[in-house]
Structure 1
């Protein structure tokens, strides 16, 4: 049935949206995020130079590489499967932070952190695939609404997890916030297996997309916006990664 120009969503799609939004809420629910540097330095005994020069750059570069790779892979192995792999990667990355050892006790723990950041980069990149997944889940007239819903879920999760993280750091311990993050990721990982499978729209085929991209790049206005967006994303991600060094 149709209301105006907007088709009514089926029960399956509505249920899929609820699962997807709860999944997204849990996936970005990270009480330990703002205190990761403190945790690595105070609890895991890394130096600040190791954190900023050896550990974090692995995430920075792996993230940008995986964004491109996963966007292409999702076209062939389904968006749901890529999201599941990304969620499992985030869960494993969080689990590695809880390995009961420190750098001073075992120097090879630095290599574990390399793997941790590689997994974190993979998981973070899957978030881009999830955004595309949402737009394949609903008809085009609902794109604006689904954007507002997903952004609201993300912001609400960030605010609540930030308050929870502050409370846990103040009254319990740094490590407790990491356990809370792991618990949220565990629930999100379970939900990822219940995400609704989506199929490509006719206009979303990879070959068609690549042709559209090359056509768009011939337009200088589009190219300027693309370069600006890429620069903004790069600076934003670097700021998120290294801002704690300024505090």
Structure 2
């Protein structure tokens, strides 16, 4: 009990620990690596073409529709309620998977999952509103690692239950429903941030204290204490009603809009932050697209109906490597302002090569290895990018920046989905899709290799004084020594 109280009294350890615990259980989705075999198998009996070109694009479009409203609600409600909402929709997501039959139910499933992913902005921005700036880097590494370790444990456990225990996919989904319910309960432990970033906070608590302090001091009535308490209570209720009305007033909305615009200008006034944000948007769009369709690629190379499925083991191994990379970021001593953009380009090039390995090989194990390499590179870079952006912004700006970056990434992903995936347009096969994804990541790597090389050379050159300045400095030192 003493350790628990000590943890709660810590300025950053308690919210980081609780949010990491939530992230672990929320991402411990034992059944997720087996979603495609579950949908196209006898349990849901949906064709592979329908899953690829109709069902999965619904998630992308719904995610884009929800993202901006959810971002505004995230700040308006001060982060925690949106994390609780995410936990609730995680639970309802697996309720639908387990007990709702038919294609229409799976459409609602994709919409529910879009709410889960849209509220991730609350998960990543919450922690920066309750901890000091000096703990951003370490907390970011812990949170990202908790998510990845949760997914690693869940995917590994799922593989064990499928391959060794012989459980069917329905029971795997039922177990996942129980695990996500634990995450939903943990979300209520999170401390509530004291204020939102853009909407003015309520002052009812202060008003209540003031009324209580003024009440006992009045003695102009015979039953002064009781009457004053009644007046204080009625005054408090009146102030609460007025404050609730002001909460959504036109003045408050205009004020929030002005702050949003000012924060937007501050967030993207620095070229350094613009380049980090650009990589975030471009890389996240490509990563999410590959993550969505990788199971279909595996099933194309080695159909799940006629062979053993090792999706869970592969996802566990990939996430373990990614989690280790993300955790190590918290202890790296690198001048990211000099070498950061070059690192983005180099590791993006490795990721692009991994995508081509996935699509060009006919061996399922080589495909698995390419996916592991690609995911590890992304997890390392996105963790570095997250704390770099957060560390260079004021508290009023980072949530907005994260939201805008995610919105841009999702807009790019929606365009990609609409053009090459959706059955209403090109509706390309899975192999052609992955070739395009590989070319897309090559473009990202070339852009940042050029930019990173230029930045590193410029920084290195400006950090060294010219030779004539060095000679002048040496001359001044000699004159000073001779004089004294």
TM-score for the superposition, normalised by structure 1:
0.85
Name the counterpart of 1:186.
Answer: 181
Residues 1:21 and 2:23 aligned together? no
Taking the aligned partners of 1:217 and 1:19, their CA distance within structure 2 comes to 31
The Cα shift of 1:127 comes to 1.7
Match of 2:119, SS? helix
Name the counterpart of 2:95.
Answer: 95
Name the counterpart of 2:143.
Answer: 150
Taking the aligned partners of 1:221 and 1:38, their CA distance within structure 2 comes to 43
The Cα shift of 1:77 comes to 1.6
The Cα shift of 1:204 comes to 9.7
Taking the aligned partners of 1:204 and 1:18, their CA distance within structure 2 comes to 27
Match of 2:194, SS? coil
Name the counterpart of 2:110.
Answer: 117
The Cα shift of 1:197 comes to 0.4
CA contact (8 A) 1:91 1:189 kept: yes
Taking the aligned partners of 1:123 and 1:12, their CA distance within structure 2 comes to 28
Structure 1 pair 220/142, CA: closer, same or farther in 2 (3 Å)? closer
Unaligned runs of 5+ in 2: 1-6, 201-255, 299-484
RMSD: 2.4
Structure 1 pair 140/27, CA: closer, same or farther in 2 (3 Å)? same
CA contact (8 A) 1:168 1:176 kept: no
1:155-174, CA deviations, whole angstroms, 9 ceiling, x for partnerless residues? 21121111101112222111
Return the match for 1:246 from 285, 297, 305. Answer: 297
CA contact (8 A) 1:87 1:188 kept: yes
Taking the aligned partners of 1:12 and 1:181, their CA distance within structure 2 comes to 33
1:183-222 alignment runs, 5 A limit? 183-200=178-195, 207-217=258-268, 222=273
Taking the aligned partners of 2:157 and 2:54, their CA distance within structure 1 comes to 29
Match of 1:193, SS? helix
1:16-47, CA deviations, whole angstroms, 9 ceiling, x for partnerless residues? 33222111110011111111000011121011
CA contact (8 A) 1:90 1:124 kept: no
* Most deviating of 28-37 and 8-17: 8-17
CA contact (8 A) 1:30 1:184 kept: yes
More RCO (CA 8 Å, sep 6+): 1
Structure label with greater radius of gyration = 2
Taking the aligned partners of 2:116 and 2:100, their CA distance within structure 1 comes to 23
CA contact (8 A) 1:168 1:174 kept: no
Match of 1:112, SS? helix
Query: Aligned pair count?
Result: 233
The Cα shift of 1:241 comes to 0.5
CA contact (8 A) 1:39 1:174 kept: yes
Structure 1 pair 220/164, CA: closer, same or farther in 2 (3 Å)? same
Residues 1:232 and 2:283 aligned together? yes
Match of 1:234, SS? helix
1:37-78, CA deviations, whole angstroms, 9 ceiling, x for partnerless residues? 000111210111121122111112222332322221111122
Name the counterpart of 1:106.
Answer: none
1:128-167 alignment runs, 5 A limit? 128-167=121-160
The Cα shift of 1:97 comes to 0.4
The Cα shift of 1:229 comes to 2.0
Match of 1:133, SS? helix
Name the counterpart of 2:65.
Answer: 65
1:5-16 alignment runs, 5 A limit? 10-11=9-10, 14-16=13-15
Taking the aligned partners of 2:261 and 2:27, their CA distance within structure 1 comes to 30
Taking the aligned partners of 2:95 and 2:185, their CA distance within structure 1 comes to 16
Name the counterpart of 1:105.
Answer: none
CA contact (8 A) 1:29 1:157 kept: yes
The Cα shift of 1:11 comes to 4.2
CA contact (8 A) 1:79 1:198 kept: yes
Unaligned runs of 5+ in 1: 1-7, 102-108
Match of 2:58, SS? helix
CA contact (8 A) 1:82 1:129 kept: yes
Match of 1:98, SS? helix
CA contact (8 A) 2:28 2:179 kept: yes
